[in-house]
Amino acid sequence: MSSPRMSLAHYTRLWLASARYSLVRTMMFRADFIMWSLVELFWMGVNLLLIAVVYRHTDSIAGWGPWEMTVIVGTSMLVQRLLMGFFWTNLFEMGRNVRSGHFDFFMAQPGNPLFMISTRKIDLDGFLNAPLALAVVAYAVHRLGLQPSGWQMAAYALFVGCGLAIHYATLLLIISLVFWLQSAKGIEGGYFGVNEFSRLPREALRGVAAVIFVYALPVIVVTNVPARTLLHGVELVPTLWLVGAAALWLTIAITVFNRGIRRYASASS
């Protein structure tokens, strides 16, 4: 049995090999890469333009001004770009592979199936716009006249990572249903609608909407906690809630995936 250090080195080499493959593949289809990068850039511009339009008619939304709202939207775009870059294509291809039987290829790979599925491809167009999203956040913080400390910026990076983990777990959980269902396409589409709520401040939701999108599906805390960290500093309760939600959703998603793996292996045999 290999040591944890050797195991980590093994998975690092596998990930680097996938990254090199993705880079070579992107360079082979440069026009496609440029087109999708521009599409992502256009979508980011639409989100920022929407803020400008809304705040032409109001000074505040639930106590959040235009540049504070820009911090939230920029954080949402950053998490989404990282999700697109690292995991999006891989997870959605998993559903097609399970339905077609090509999932056997991943079962035979020299590594954990979840790792092999999640890291097979990297979408560079997502990464290209991630620095732009971060620049939007930085510019909004500058316009607010704030100077976040090193601790705040480190906490912000950690919380963005937690948000990425929640989004990854949500997608993994949804796609893993394909092990039991013939198709999960209808469920996959619901992800986009739910994610729209991540651009709203927590204070804008009341009643049932707050219960659903803050507690049951924590899409609001994914963006609000990092944004509030830059604006107001680290807050203990939201920090514990975000970290706990990330750990809980990852645990649930991985458990469902592993049960799906066992069902698939049993059916294949």
pLDDT tens-digit map of 39-50: 777 777 887 888
The count of structural domains within the chain is: 1
Q: Which has more confidence, 52 or 153?
A: 153
Q: What is the pLDDT of residues 62-114, one digit of tens each?
A: 788 899 999 999 999 899 889 988 888 888 888 778 877 778 877 777 678 88
Q: Which residues of 138-147 are buried (b: 16+ CB within 10 A; e: fewer)?
A: bebbeebeee
Q: Which domain holds residue 255?
A: 4-268
Give pTM, 2 decimals. Answer: 0.84
Query: Looking at residue 1, what is its pLDDT?
Result: 40
Residue 127, pLDDT above cutoff 90: no
The predicted pLDDT at position 137 comes to 94
- pLDDT of 193: 67
**Which has the higher per-residue pLDDT, 62 or 5?**
62
Average pLDDT over residues 232-248: 91
User: DSSP of 150-191, one letter per residue?
Assistant: HHHHHHHHHHHHHHHHHHHHHHHHHHHGGGTSS--HHHHHHH
> Where is pLDDT greater, at 262 or 34?
262
Contact 205, 212 (CB under 8 A): no
Cα within 13 Å of Cα(131), Cβ side: 4
Q: Note the pLDDT of residue 248.
A: 94
